[in-house]
A = this chain, B = another copy of it.
Amino acid sequence: MDFMSALRAAWRERDSLLCVGLDPDPTRLPPSLAGRPRAIFEFCRGIVDATADLVCAFKPQIAYFAACRAEDQLEALIEHIHARHPGIPVILDAKRGDIGSTASRYAEEAFARYQADAVTVNPYMGQDSVEPYLAWEGKGVILLCRTSNPGGGDLQNLDLGDGEKLYERVARLASGAWNANGNCALVVGATFPEELARVRALVGELPLLVPGIGAQGGDIATTVSAGQTGDGLGLMLNSSRAILYAGEGEGKCWDGDFAAAARQAALDTRAAINACRVSVPVFREK
């Protein structure tokens, strides 16, 4: 199934806008996995199996695998998701960006090697640097627009003279000229809800991947209100650390129960999100 259809199906079937980010920090693995050769894979597999019925997407972050030579574990993880939980789209968070001939290699890395359904891409190098990803039929291309980090505005909020901001221009391009195949989406951080609302106003029903809820502090109610589409959809609200390490810390049973703790955190987050979706009742009646 193509990314956009899979995403829409997952939103509805799982009644969820929650995307679980798989950013496995090797220094924060449960002690029971310590020293195991495929500890990163086993940790992420535990999280995936415990939350798959609660999410609209999984988003592994490639840097966490690449920094410790664990590309093979990332391959195995995505293969596992497709085999065990078919239909859930996998977004490879890689934020690639390069000229055409090299971008083709990055697209091959994401879509052929890792079998991702979508990849995050940096728009700074312009349309021809994005086209090699867009050319993969059915794959999603999620362009950075307004990122959740404190310095995100250093360039993205620059005024283009007529009151338009750089991130607004990216939003217009990604929903217009660059979106000939209908496979574009955008990254917009939850930490800047006014800008999220502005992007939503510019891009119609384009899906938005929204990092920043959970550990980064973005407020769920404000985020959902600012970013949802008229039918209470349109968002992939990413939480990574708050789900992955939910069982960590004092008085909690981290070791055996990391997956159960993650499941509970995902249940709570999904519920908190759904409580804010204005059109959820209408949707649920369907």
Q: Say whether A159 contacts B156, CB under 8 Å.
A: no
**Is A109 at the interface (CB under 8 A from chain B)?**
yes
Q: Say whether A97 contacts B109, CB under 8 Å.
A: no
CA–CA, A146 to B50, complex, Å? 45
Can you add 13 more A-B contacts, CB < 8 Å, to A123-B155, A154-B173? A23-B102, A63-B109, A67-B105, A67-B108, A95-B97, A99-B211, A100-B149, A126-B156, A128-B150, A129-B147, A155-B170, A158-B166, A159-B161
Complex contacts, A95 vs chain B, CB 8 Å: 96-98, 122
Q: Say whether B113 contacts A66, CB under 8 Å.
A: yes
Complex contacts, A153 vs chain B, CB 8 Å: 126
CB-contact partner of A151 in B23, B122, B127, B148, under 8 A = B127
Q: What's the dominant secondary structure at chain A's contact region? A: helix
CA–CA, A128 to B122, complex, Å? 16
Q: Say whether A147 contacts B99, CB under 8 Å.
A: yes
**Is A106 at the interface (CB under 8 A from chain B)?**
yes
Q: Say whether B126 contacts A151, CB under 8 Å.
A: yes
Q: Say whether A63 contacts B23, CB under 8 Å.
A: no
Closest to A130 in B: B151
**Is A69 at the interface (CB under 8 A from chain B)?**
yes
CA–CA, A97 to B211, complex, Å? 15
Complex contacts, A128 vs chain B, CB 8 Å: 149-151
For A, the interface residue count at a CB cutoff of 8 angstroms equals 53
CA–CA, A44 to B226, complex, Å? 51
Chain A residues 156-203 with CB under 8 Å of chain B are 156, 158-162, 166, 169-170, 173
Complex contacts, A125 vs chain B, CB 8 Å: 122, 144, 147, 149, 151-152, 155-156
Complex contacts, A283 vs chain B, CB 8 Å: none
CA–CA, A119 to B183, complex, Å? 30
A70 shortest CB reach to chain B, Å:
10
Closest to A75 in B: B69
**Is A136 at the interface (CB under 8 A from chain B)?**
no
CA–CA, A219 to B67, complex, Å? 38
Closest to A65 in B: B105
Closest to A112 in B: B67
A93 shortest CB reach to chain B, Å:
8
